Structure 1
Amino acid sequence: MKANRLMLNDLMEVNPRTGVITLNNKRMALMSVQALGILRRDLVDTLSMERAKGFLMRYGRACGQKAAEDLEQTYKWESTEELMLAGPALHTLEGVVTVEAENIEYNDDTLHYTGYWRNSFEVEEHLYHYGESKTPVCWILVGYASGFLTKLFGKQVLVHEEKCKGKGDPYCYFVAKTFDPADKKQQADLRYYEAESLISELDRSYKEIKELNENIIESERVQKKLTDLLLEDESLSSMLEVVSAALHKSIIIDYRYGKNEGVFLEEEAFIEENLLENPNNLIDNQKMMEMYPIHAKGKNLGNMIVIGEEKNKKKEELIIQRALTICSIKIFHAFQLIQSKWQKKEEFFEELLNSEKDEETLQIGSHVFEFNSQNDNRVLTILVDDKESNELILEHLNSKYTALDIFLKDKYIILILSEDYNKNLENFAKDLQASIENKFKKSITYIGVGRAVKGLKKLAKSYQDASRICDFLQLVHPNDSHISYFEELEPIVLLLKATDQEDLIDFCKKMIGDLIEYDKENQSNLLITLKSYLDNNGNLQKTANDLHLSIAGLRYRLDKIESFGKKGLKTGSGRFKYQLAINMYFSMQIMDNSSNIL
């Protein structure tokens, strides 16, 4: 017998008197596809999509096994291959699906069988009730083919639907293979064939629903506690204690840029300081660390990090999601208060710079600042090459230096340093720069420190010093971070203010005018090279390091500079004149806000 000889007229009999229909001598019952679709839908709605899939695959496998047994016993087949093709032929005759075999390869141990399913009733019904799926939907067909081939081949055969019209593919395509324990895809499919009664399916669904309800009640209890703490304006740490107790896990709030805080279980207290500094320092590989972003009004405020022995379960996820909502409100409110303080400081400082008010009148509004205006204070300004990161750096510095007045003014980050900081100013400035560059790895920072002054009105002078120093540093050191102080540049500033500027310009032209013109025309850096060479007292190695040049490259530039007749570089007085001319040139550029002084 050949599979293509199977004809519906030969196989099917209808007794008009009794209404009994047989196909291949087995009783059949005509039933509409719509009815099967409704049954399928009700199973999905009752059991869930995954459980209904397993139920229908097992049903299909039982049908396939029975069909294989009947066909094998009823006919004498020309070959095993013909018998394998008989199942698809029978399925087509029954109106379930049109099967087109593509390739069959087998031996005593293995089978590999591929083909197409067209006009699948399961696709039609799934699309009608649920729309397009993300995964294949021909569950009965997969089970039927698996059962049919397993029965005939005598070894476990699993069918996998690689393409399915129910998930948007142009056709349904199946692959049947003998079971391989090492095949993860087959291992995943095999679990759907584990026998389970409908009662047990319903019982498990009931238990899951009951568990979900209990989880919701518990998460609502935690949410109510957190809401009460929020309304009572309690600290964030008290909220984290509630969450930590509910989860029995350690919690860290990893702020975007700021000092982290957290609550740790007693047995994990020894890692508290290390993890707060950097949550990625979790050394214990037995611990699970899960991260949840904190957002409010489209702003990224940081992350909530949960540390425990194992991955969070459904109940814990529900609690965490509700806790995130309340904690986000608390964190965002605190952030808004901080921003409001920054804004007030910025506005008052702007008034201080531009107002004609006297000292006594300005003192009335000075309460927005932390410093005592009657003592010596300095303005320190920070200029960063990437202006976009100014606000992030501001957040970082405000969390690190809580006792200082820190805010933005135009392109500068402003710090007002009290008398206490003046005692160890150089170390503070270096620590400040290191702190920024450790957090913002690619940033180039310029720090200018203005003169020490008493009173509010004179702060404008200190600010002017500091901001000009920053601009000066950026101009002469475009590729490296630098710090400078008013005391270092004070002689140049005073000279510029006290001397006729035309005389100064003539002096600069005489000493370095030709280098300036050459740099402009050739986009070179001879003037910067000369300044670095003089700043390093003629030390070639230090100058080369400063300019990121090789010694040979530096010598080439110095030879070029000497070709302009700069022979005075070899004498002390000559070096002083060139250094004075260069510093005056860059200072005049900053003070006159012009690049065309010479």
Structure 2
Amino acid sequence: MKALTLNDLLHIRQENELLFANNERSVLVSTRAFGAMQRDLIKNIGINRMKTFFFKYGFHLGEEDAQEVQKIDSLSMLEKFEYGPIIHALKGHAKSRITERDLEVENNQIKSFRLKGIWESSFEAEQHIQNFGIKKGTVCYTLTGYATGYVTALLGEEVFFKELQCEGEGAPCCIWEGRLVSEWKEEAEEFFSYSKELPIIKELELTNENLLVEKNNLALVSRTYNEMTNELIKGNNIDSILEILNKQTNLPIVIEDIRQHLLAYKGITRDDYELIRKACNYSGDKYRNIAKVNVLSFENGTRIITPIYLLGKVVGYCSFLYDRGRTPNYDIDSMIIDRLASICALLFLKEKAEIESLEQVKGHFLEEIISGKYSQQEILRKADFIQLDLSGHYHMIVLTYKFMKKCEEKEFTLHKTTFEAVSTFFRNKGINVLIGQQADSLVLLLMEKQLNQQNIENTLLSLVSHLKKEINNSVFLAGISSQNSKIVDAGVAIEEARSAVRLSSRDKPITSFSELGILGVLINDQNEKAIRKLVRDTLGVLSENLDSNKVELIETLYHFLLNGGNLEQTAEYLALSKSGLRYRLTKITDFLGCDLRDPQRQFQLLLALKALKIVDHERLKKSK
């Protein structure tokens, strides 16, 4: 191929003081002006749009030159490829040369194409460095566009050229490569996503339309929220709020508590809700993982669900339900359901404050009853103010609790959490009970008529079981007084309950005062000294100078006697081996100096141990 000159390609001439190249009106533009335009474009339309702009500009330049080269019939296809770098260089874009070439054609179909080469002294890289300095990434968008347009026009197939390295990022030269677009796969995807962007004016029009839609959506959400808030301010309940929301959205709405029990609903029957709940079959864990607005699918539709937060904890869930034929408008509905959750949180907070206030009043009233401040008639009259009938039989209950893992912050929280859990338990069962709080215990006054002929022990067992589920790593024990009819005797009854709870244990958490037998009758303020003498005379040195070792032996003897002297049952309860149990019993025998198998002696020891647990409960507790 003979060496080409600029005039061979452009046929430059002047006519009427104007410049023409190949009979086309032309202008001369300096690379500095090009660089200034590039800088302003980046500033005004962004780097990504600028890439597309200059790539397309270069593409058209290359396409025009290829059309001229196509007219030279004497050249082979590879020779026409080689003309491209020559034209590129003659026009001042860069010193260009091809280093690798490959073209495979079969049945007039291009099977493979690959062209690789080098650009030196790229005008585009030069201006980019002057304007922006050396930065990571390739910058010769016009040159790659030129090569892409030139070869695409020659082959009639879509090709794409990209830089593998660039002078603009500090490399000694630019290395480029061209292949069929189908061969680049995801490597060209980023650039073509930029190429498909809308013109700025179209994008602005769409943005404006989207803003108008968003404005209307926010107006609808704001109007709905204001109407719900007005209902709240008026003091109306959740049903009236859901009524308004259901009319606005024409969607079924449900509100559930943390255990997925239905609290309120509108636009759906309870039976239909139960069918949906069963179809959803969501586990408690899946619900607990819902921390924000979420879309859940079930067999015949969809639900948008969001948690209700109260004091940093999830206390329930709000949901919109959609049947299969209706698609959720997520943008609007998610905002509305989120605001409904806020309204519900305020309602729950109001209800919580009202309940806590009432419980405080009831607790203070219970303290006054126990102190003996009022007469029978005064107590009955004041009880009417809290809708509680205190005429009839009642029991006093002492519920003790302790946290298994020592943590001051958690122990402080435990008192409040236990009070709330006990209050909620009885409220859910429709039982009106007086609850007072003392150190590490709750005091309850429970009327038998409130139990609706249920067994009080079974009711308290249900309470303890409920508390274990609600509050981890805690032990709850309860003592029940004897049945009383005179409310002024509550002070005596509470002492009975305190005596009973001292005999409760983890395997038998509920103890009734009647189970104390003769001890319950004997132990009182008048004969406490005689009871202590009985304990000393029966247990001897085992009850003196108590320490953790002696308390351990006392507990071993107590459970050995409770199990009727059965070694296997006692060892299993104490988690000891039989040999370990025998060792302890030998030490106990040495202390007592008596035969532990004597039935009469066993009775006296068990009686003394029960008395010790009641009258010296605090001393035993401190010695553990």
2:125 to 91, 96, 104: 91
1:109-128 Cα offsets, whole Å, 9 max, x none, are xxxxxxx36xxxxxxxxxxx
Does 2:360 match 1:329?
no
Deviation at 1:356, TM superposition (A): 3.2
2:570 to 507, 519, 543: 543
Match of 1:261 in 2: 263
Match of 1:305 in 2: 318
Structure 2 CA distance for aligned equivalents of residues 245 and 185 of structure 1: 52
Match of 1:431 in 2: 462
Amino acid at match of 1:39: N
1:240 to 239, 242, 257: 242
Deviation at 1:300, TM superposition (A): 3.9
1:196 to 198, 209, 219: 198
Partner-residue secondary structure (3-state), 1:350: helix
- For the pair shown, the structure with the greater C-alpha radius of gyration is 2
Residues 345-424 of structure 1 aligned to structure 2 (within 5 Å):
345-386=362-403, 387=411, 388=414, 389-394=417-422, 396-410=424-438, 411-420=440-449, 421=451, 424=455
Q: 1:596 to 1:315 in 2, by over 3 A?
A: closer
Structure 2 CA distance for aligned equivalents of residues 177 and 352 of structure 1: 95
- Which range moves more in the overlay, 311-320 or 245-254? 245-254
Residues 105-116 of structure 1 aligned to structure 2 (within 5 Å):
116=136
Q: 1:501 to 1:365 in 2, by over 3 A?
A: closer
Structure 1 CA distance for aligned equivalents of residues 182 and 530 of structure 2: 92
Structure 1 CA distance for aligned equivalents of residues 603 and 426 of structure 2: 42
Does 2:477 match 1:446?
yes
Does 2:599 match 1:572?
yes
Structure 2 CA distance for aligned equivalents of residues 496 and 459 of structure 1: 17
Amino acid at match of 1:470: V
1:554-590 Cα offsets, whole Å, 9 max, x none, are 4444444345456532122121112111111110124
Deviation at 1:376, TM superposition (A): 0.4
Deviation at 1:338, TM superposition (A): 0.9
Q: 1:155 to 1:355 in 2, by over 3 A?
A: farther
Partner-residue secondary structure (3-state), 2:520: helix
Match of 1:456 in 2: 487
User: Sequence identity of aligned pairs in percent?
Assistant: 16
**Contact 2:35 / 2:127 at 8 angstroms: preserved in 1?**
no
Structure 2 CA distance for aligned equivalents of residues 446 and 181 of structure 1: 76
Partner-residue secondary structure (3-state), 2:373: coil
Structure 2 CA distance for aligned equivalents of residues 184 and 496 of structure 1: 88
1:77 to 97, 117, 125: 97
TM-score (ref. length: structure 2): 0.66
Deviation at 1:262, TM superposition (A): 3.4
**Contact 1:444 / 1:481 at 8 angstroms: preserved in 2?**
no
Match of 2:306 in 1: 292
Match of 2:173 in 1: none
Structure 1 CA distance for aligned equivalents of residues 467 and 548 of structure 2: 36
Structure 1 CA distance for aligned equivalents of residues 469 and 441 of structure 2: 19
**Contact 2:308 / 2:318 at 8 angstroms: preserved in 1?**
no
Q: 1:594 to 1:434 in 2, by over 3 A?
A: closer
Amino acid at match of 2:488: K
Deviation at 1:236, TM superposition (A): 1.4
Does 2:503 match 1:469?
no
**Contact 2:97 / 2:119 at 8 angstroms: preserved in 1?**
no
Partner-residue secondary structure (3-state), 2:264: strand
Partner-residue secondary structure (3-state), 1:484: strand
Structure 1 CA distance for aligned equivalents of residues 188 and 275 of structure 2: 43
- Which range moves more in the overlay, 316-325 or 86-95? 86-95
| Gaps in structure 2 of 5+ consecutive residues | 1-17, 20-26, 66-83, 90-95, 101-114, 153-157, 165-176, 288-295, 404-410
Structure 2 CA distance for aligned equivalents of residues 569 and 184 of structure 1: 87
Aligned length: 511
| Gaps in structure 1 of 5+ consecutive residues | 1-16, 41-51, 101-115, 118-139, 161-175
Deviation at 1:28, TM superposition (A): 2.3
**Contact 1:289 / 1:305 at 8 angstroms: preserved in 2?**
no
Over aligned residues, Cα RMSD in angstroms? 4.9
Deviation at 1:594, TM superposition (A): 7.7
Partner-residue secondary structure (3-state), 1:325: helix
**Contact 1:258 / 1:399 at 8 angstroms: preserved in 2?**
no
**Contact 1:381 / 1:447 at 8 angstroms: preserved in 2?**
yes
Structure 1 CA distance for aligned equivalents of residues 546 and 536 of structure 2: 14
TM-score (ref. length: structure 1): 0.69
Structure 2 CA distance for aligned equivalents of residues 370 and 144 of structure 1: 87
Q: 1:515 to 1:202 in 2, by over 3 A?
A: same
Structure 1 CA distance for aligned equivalents of residues 341 and 360 of structure 2: 28
